[in-house]
């Protein structure tokens, strides 16, 4: 005779709660070699400005977060296919990208910075004629360098999957400059006097969370970002990670509409 095992109601409730929590988790893909936006700390824990933004938004929505790491150029396919709910990686809003994905309102401004060796023989952008420069594949820095290559007479544009390798190649002399987001570059070189920003490209770039088109999360996520700006918590995260005060007219402070809406 088979015995019937009676499961306590408390255990059933806890199991259902666990399943509900897992189902409610936001799937986030991240280019984690991207300090101070996202990176692993000395204990191997994912941290950074955008990681904090996503965690805060998820907490306010009463949802969990699951992060998956991948190179920058793979973030787009992951979001477009619906395998991810959100992508982070210092992603710039562009009209071309809005054809295939959606963005929350921006929350950080980011021009492009050209960086060289502080004591090297390139101290101005005109001196990059005939020289190799490094960029991160799929970024606005790559787009700008590709458009400027003929005018500036760059020799070769070397492409990388993360932020560290191009800086190492610059340090070793394999390239003469790197082109990347100013906040990322400024954070990376703050304790590395061997590097120097020699030129800032005023692109008017703004970064945001990237989501699939027609994402059911877009309005909710965007609303919480607006609330973070209104209550000062977004500016607080900016101070924490960039050790600076966000300008009052920056997208870190000003509430803006969803791009393309």
201-210: per-residue pLDDT in tens? 988 899 999 9
**Per-position DSSP letters for 186-237, written without gaps between them:** HHHHTT-TTEEEEEEE----EE--EEETT-TTHHHHHHHHHHHHHTTHHHHH
Q: Looking at per-residue confidence, does 33 or 134 come out higher?
A: 134
Secondary structure tally for the chain: helices H, strands E: 8, 14
Q: What is the reported pLDDT for 4?
A: 38
Residue ranges per structural domain of the chain: 12-109+206-242, 112-201
Do 12-109+206-242 and 112-201 come out as alike in CATH topology?
yes
Q: How much of the chain is in helix, strand and coil states, percent to nearest 5?
A: 35, 20, 40
For 7-59, what is each residue's pLDDT tens digit?
Answer: 454 444 444 344 344 447 999 999 998 889 999 999 999 999 999 999 999 99
Q: What is the reported pLDDT for 17?
A: 43
CATH superfamily of 112-201: Periplasmic binding protein-like II (3.40.190.10)
pLDDT band at 227 (very low <50, low <70, confident <90, very high): very high
- Residue 94, both tokens: 């562009």
Domain 12-109+206-242 carries which CATH code? 3.40.190.10
């Amino acid at each position: 005779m088979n015995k019937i095992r009676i499961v306590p109601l408390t255990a059933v409730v806890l199991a259902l709660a666990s399943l509900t929590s897992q189902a409610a988790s936001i799937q986030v893909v991240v280019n984690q070699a991207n300090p101070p936006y996202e990176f692993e700390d000395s204990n191997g824990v994912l941290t950074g400005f955008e990681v904090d933004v996503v965690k805060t938004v998820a907490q306010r929505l009463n949802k969990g977060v699951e992060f998956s790491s991948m190179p920058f150029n793979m973030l787009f396919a992951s979001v477009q296919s619906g395998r991810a709910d959100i992508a982070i990686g210092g992603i710039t809003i562009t009209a071309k990208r809005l054809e295939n994905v959606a963005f929350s309102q921006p929350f950080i401004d980011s021009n492009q910075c050209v960086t060289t060796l502080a004591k090297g023989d390139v101290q101005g952008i005109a001196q990059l004629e005939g020289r190799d420069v490094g960029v991160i594949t799929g970024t606005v820095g790559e787009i700008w360098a590709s458009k400027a290559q003929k005018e500036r007479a760059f020799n070769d544009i070397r492409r990388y999957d993360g932020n560290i390798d191009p800086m190492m190649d610059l340090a070793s002399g394999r390239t003469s400059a790197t082109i990347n987001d100013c906040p990322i570059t400024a954070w990376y070189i703050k304790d590395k006097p061997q590097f120097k920003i020699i030129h800032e490209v005023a692109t008017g770039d703004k970064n945001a969370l990237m989501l699939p088109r027609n994402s059911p999360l877009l309005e909710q996520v965007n609303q919480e970002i607006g609330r973070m700006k209104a209550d000062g918590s977004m500016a607080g995260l900016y101070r924490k990670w960039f050790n600076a005060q966000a300008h009052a007219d920056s997208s870190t402070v000003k509430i803006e509409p969803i791009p393309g809406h």
